[in-house]
Amino acid sequence: MSEPRLRVFPDPAALALAAAERIAVAALEAIRARGRFRLVLAGGETPRRTYEVLAGAAFAGRVDWPRVEFFWGDERCVPPNDARSNYRMAREALLDRIPVTPDNVHRIHGEDAPARAALAYERQLASVVPDLVLLGLGQDGHTASLFPGHAAVRERVRTVLAEYVREVSAWRVTMTPPMLNAGRAVLFLASGPGKAGALRLALEGSLPPALLPVKAVRPASGCLDWMVDLAAASGLARVTSVSTET
């Protein structure tokens, strides 16, 4: 189990550019090694900025998109055109703007009954090893849809679960720790002062995963990286430098 690696960037724009570069390099390496790149997408504002950069002119031609398979770490139980859908966000920010192969887009069917959607996605993931798992960080320490005190964060067998999250009064379908930790690499993205407290607890605190779900993500053999902006890192005691390059 590798120790987390941290890189801090001056602002959200620099973070998004560096994260896009990290994804592009990971894609190149995976395609060279295995002929395809399996990417697990996250919801949230910081990943959205990263997707927009990836879809922009600076990365045109950098990624062999027809060889990329897309998955989602979690989804709200809403139709795919709903404004709250993680799939819709990724489609608008990235997928509609690149030459993606439709059969390589593996979304969670949030419009279906939650338990049925979770079981179908779990079956789809049965032989999948992600090359890179993108994750965000909630102010309460949740990641994907692993929330404090809920069953999904304690799951050790099932790779996908549906759960009613009382904090947001909604059903969610989420990858669980066994699936998230199976990735060859995990990359957390966090920006803004609102994430400073949760980031400090994640990297320097001692709360257990049941209370701080982000701590449940510790890949057994893959690398674990954090890329954050200066505002999110403002509560950390051990930040010694700020990256100025991607």
Low-confidence residues of the chain: pLDDT under 50: none
What pLDDT does residue 230 have? 96
pLDDT at residue 222 in the model = 86
34 three-class SS: helix
Residue 80, exposed/middle/buried by CB under 10 A (0-12, 13-18, 19+)? middle
From residue 154, how far is each of 166, 211, 213 by CA, in Å? 17, 10, 9
Quick one: pLDDT at residue 244?
65
Q: Sign (positive/negative) of CA torsion 134, 102, 120, 94? A: positive
Say what the pLDDT of residue 242 is. 75
pLDDT of residue 152: 97
Selection from 176, 191, 119 nearest residue 146 by Cα: 176
Per-residue pLDDT of 167-203, as tens digits, reads 999 999 999 999 999 999 999 999 999 999 999 999 9
Query: Mean pLDDT in the chain?
Result: 95
41: nearest Cα among 92, 107, 116, 99: 107
- What predicted TM-score, i.e. pTM, was given to this entire model? 0.95
The domain ranges of the chain are: 5-235
CATH level 3 topology of 5-235: Rossmann fold (3.40.50)
pLDDT of amino acid 220: 84
